[in-house]
Structures are given as structure tokens and as C-alpha cells.
Amino acid sequence: MESISIGLMGLGTVGSGVVQIINNHQDKLMHQVGCPVKIKKILVKNLNKERVVQVAPELLTTDADDIINDPEIDVIIEVIGGMDNTKAYIKKALMNRKNIVTANKDLMALHGSELLTIASDNGCDLFYEASVGGGIPILRSLVDGLASDRITKMMGIVNGTTNFILTKMSKYGSAYEDVLKEAQELGYAEADPTADVEGLDAARKMTILATLGFSMKIDLDDVKVKGITEITEEDLKYGKQLGYTMKLIGIAHREGERVEVSVQPTLLAESHPLASVQDEFNAVYVYGEAVGETMFYGPGAGSLPTATAVVSDLVAVMKNMRLGVNGKSAVTPQYPKQLKRPSEKYAKYFLRLHVRDEIGVFANMTSIFSEHNVSLEKILQMPLKNKGLAEIVLVTHQASLQDYEDILIKLRDLQAVKMIKSSYRVEGSVNV
């Protein structure tokens, strides 16, 4: 093979990084695959836009078919994002027997199984390492490095924007709106930050991780999602007082044959390894029956970190081309999907509420917990000035989600309970 020709779809942040790495690491790529690697065409929206990387004008096109239908292009790298048009491009390219590398988590979370089947049927690779965790090689680690193990739990910080916001709120007591604005100015958050702050971006990544890690077809609708928009300064203050740090955590947990997947604000014990992951960094904690605990940490976004993952996939595709084994690596899910019922999901919970500051109120509340065999690990009680109310903060021991939700319903029905202010999952134990 004299050379390998690449079609690049997208020349934004990640696409520019891909061009830089391919141009600057040509000697390493040659060593890995035994021939030169060249970018033949680049799909862009605007031919005349100023760009951070210099490319020859004749490489640029606004017509996707110039790449998809070019018989000389061996691999297409898709970094334009989006859903409908992109899905159509990738399907058409796979039908034309083009190998695909994508960073598109939305597409892979929603349509990954369909596209992987098309790729396999056409003898093509479809790799998507960059869709989760930016520069962290988490997907390859699950598929290859931990292939012989049985993964029981994955939990992690998989969205850099929300981690940046929560880090600033926790460290400096900044208001959510102020930190969000700062994140947008720094380019960590989009103009419309909904996908990040409502947990949707993290949920898509956890869908991909759970499908691969558990070899089970997990759908986005199977993920219970709660974002960070309702977290208050008081929640963070009380969490810190009790020895916890707030993070948006994705959890995928398997017990026996049943699984649960969720994304939600979680109070982590300050001794937990994920509690020290700051700013825009990502980290994924993986528990395997044989390997025990492993943690993958690194930049979760950015031009070069994400482009590194893209080009790593490109190298894998090119090695498969040399060996003539493209399309052979896709593994279909091994197990039927079985989701846990609420009575099978166990966690500790943080609960903050306002109650009447009267004798007997606390006894009435604790009797509700006792009815459901849920004990309390920590209790704080503070009077609220001039309101005749008290603020109570509780942390439970392990309880099933079913019992906890039943407790919340009964607490709301108590006349003495004026408001349930907040409720969060808790991970890890604090030694007091």
C-alpha cells in the first residue's frame, strides 16, 4: 500500500487538532502503519473562513459526496457532530465500504448499534474512542485491555463543563449563573448549555460505556438523568461540612444479571478518588471482578486531547487495513438487557428539609424512616432565623430507591414538613 488517504468531515476544534497531529506526527504514523498518511479532502461549511490551521484551498469542499464517493479515500474521520445529516453521511459511506472514525457521542449513543451492524455487514471498521472522555482511552481499555474481566461498576465524571462549574462553586462559593457565564467565555460551555448542565451529554456517554462495559444493549432512555441547575450554595456548604464534595457522576452498576445506569449530582466522600478531579478534567473509575479497581483520568475535551483519541482510532483502522481484517472487530452485545427495579437499586442519600421548630416533629420524621428500615448516618439541625422553622440535613445509610421514594412521599404529607429543599445520592463513607 503506497499511502492511506483520509477524508476529514469537519475542521472545527477537533478537526483542526486532527490535521495538526497527522501533519506533525507523520514519522510516527509511518512507523505504525508502514506508509504515508495523507488528508485528501476536508468537508467544511464555509470555504473562506479563517482557520487555526493552514490547509491548501484545494483540499476543502462543501459537498460531503466529494468525500463519500471518492474511490481513493480509505478512511473518513467525522468530527462535524450533529445527528440526522451526519447519520446519513456515515451510513452512505459505510455502504461505500469506507472505514469510519467518529467523535460523535450523540450519534453513537442513539444509533450506534444500527451503524455498527451496517459497518460489520460491509466489512468496515467504525471506531469511536473520542466520543467518551476526550483524550482518555477508556473505550479501548474496556474492549481490549479489560476484555477478559467482568466489569461490575463504572462511575465517573464524564462532562468537563459541569465539573468546571461545580469546582468553581465549591472552591469559591460562586453562584451557578456566574460560573456558567465564565465557562461560556472560556469556551468550556456552549451558548446553549442545556445538554451539559441538564446531564444529557453525560447520559449519552454513560449509554456508550454501559453498552460496552456490560456487553448489553443499553438505550439512552434507560439512563435516569438529573442535571446540576438546582444545586445551591447551601447544598455545597452542608455537603462540605459533612465531609463530601459535589460532582455530576455517571454510574453504571451491574449486580448479577441486572443493571442500573444514571447521571445525577452526587455527594462524594472527600476521600474518594473522584472527589479530587477538578475543573474540566474527566475521570472514570472501573471495577472489575478480576482486576479490582482502576481509574482513567485526563482532559475530557479540547482540540488536541480529543484529536489524539481520533488519530489513535485511525491508526487502529489502518493496521486492520494492512492485515485485511476491517469489520471483524465489532462485537455484538452478549447479554439481554435486564434493568434493576427501584427495589433493587441501593444507595445512601442526602436530604435537606425545612420543618416546624416544634417538639415531636423530629420523632415523627424518624418513625417514617424506621417504618422502611432505613437508618440515619448523619444528622444536622439548625434553627432558621425569625421563621419558626428548623433546617434539617440527613444522610441515610444504604436504602433502596423504592423505600427512599416512599419515605419522601410520606415526609411531604407531614404537616410539620414545610419543604423538601434538596435530595442527592451519596457515594463513599466519611470517617468522623
Q: Is residue 335 part of a domain?
A: no
Q: Is residue 255 part of a domain?
A: yes
Q: Does 155 lie in the same domain as 111?
A: no
pLDDT band at 135 (very low <50, low <70, confident <90, very high): confident
Q: Does 129 lie in the same domain as 33?
A: yes
Question: Read out DSSP for 50-71?
Answer: --SS---GGGEES-THHHHT-T
Would you say the C-alpha torsion 43, 46, 47, 49 has a positive or negative sign? negative
Q: Is residue 164 part of a domain?
A: yes
Backbone φ and ψ for 167, nearest 5 degrees, come out as: -60, -45
Q: Is the pLDDT of residue 195 over 60?
A: yes
pLDDT band at 122 (very low <50, low <70, confident <90, very high): very high
Q: Does 308 lie in the same domain as 282?
A: no
Q: Is residue 330 part of a domain?
A: no
Q: Is residue 263 part of a domain?
A: yes
Model confidence, pTM: 0.92
Q: What is the CA radius of gyration of the chain?
A: 24
Q: Does 356 lie in the same domain as 314?
A: no
Please choose, from the candidates 364, 362, 422, 369, the residue with its C-alpha nearest in 3D space to the C-alpha of residue 398.
Answer: 369
Q: Does 43 lie in the same domain as 81?
A: yes
The total domain count for the chain is 3
Active site residue: 205, 247, 345, 348, which one?
Answer: 205
Q: Is residue 329 part of a domain?
A: no
Q: Does 216 lie in the same domain as 94?
A: no
In 23-45, which positions are buried (b, 16+ CB within 10 angstroms) versus exposed (e)? eebeeebeebbeeebebbbbbbe
Q: Is the pLDDT of residue 33 over 70?
A: yes
Lowest-confidence range among 11-15, 30-34, 107-111, 198-202?
30-34
Interval 237-293: pLDDT, tens: 999 999 999 999 999 999 999 999 999 999 999 999 999 999 989 999 999 999 999
Residue 396 maps to which CATH number? 3.30.70.260
Distance in angstroms (rounded) separating the CA atoms of residues 274 and 267: 11
pLDDT band at 432 (very low <50, low <70, confident <90, very high): low
Q: Does 349 lie in the same domain as 286?
A: no
pLDDT band at 121 (very low <50, low <70, confident <90, very high): very high
- Predicted confidence at residue 235, as pLDDT, reads 95
pLDDT band at 304 (very low <50, low <70, confident <90, very high): confident
- Predicted confidence at residue 1, as pLDDT, reads 64
Q: Is residue 328 part of a domain?
A: no
Distance in angstroms (rounded) separating the CA atoms of residues 349 and 399: 8
Within 10 angstroms of residue 273's Cβ, the number of other Cβ atoms is 13
Q: Does 169 lie in the same domain as 79?
A: no
CB 216 within 8 Å of CB 336: yes
Q: Does 263 lie in the same domain as 163?
A: yes
- Predicted confidence at residue 384, as pLDDT, reads 87
Lowest-confidence range among 166-180, 287-301, 325-339?
325-339
Q: Residues 174-185: what's their mean pLDDT? A: 91
Q: Does 43 lie in the same domain as 186?
A: no
Residue 194 maps to which CATH number? 3.30.360.10
pLDDT band at 154 (very low <50, low <70, confident <90, very high): very high
Q: Does 421 lie in the same domain as 363?
A: yes
217 in catalytic set: no
Q: Is residue 262 part of a domain?
A: yes
Q: Does 71 lie in the same domain as 167?
A: no
Could you list the beta-strand ranges (E) of 161-291.
223-225, 244-255, 258-269, 281-288
- CA distances from residue 68 to 43, 62, 90, 248 in whole angstroms, order as listed: 10, 12, 8, 39
Interval 393-428: pLDDT, tens: 999 999 999 999 999 999 999 999 999 999 999 998
Backbone φ and ψ for 62, nearest 5 degrees, come out as: -105, 5
Interval 358-376: pLDDT, tens: 888 989 999 999 999 999 9
Q: What domain range includes position 385? A: 342-427
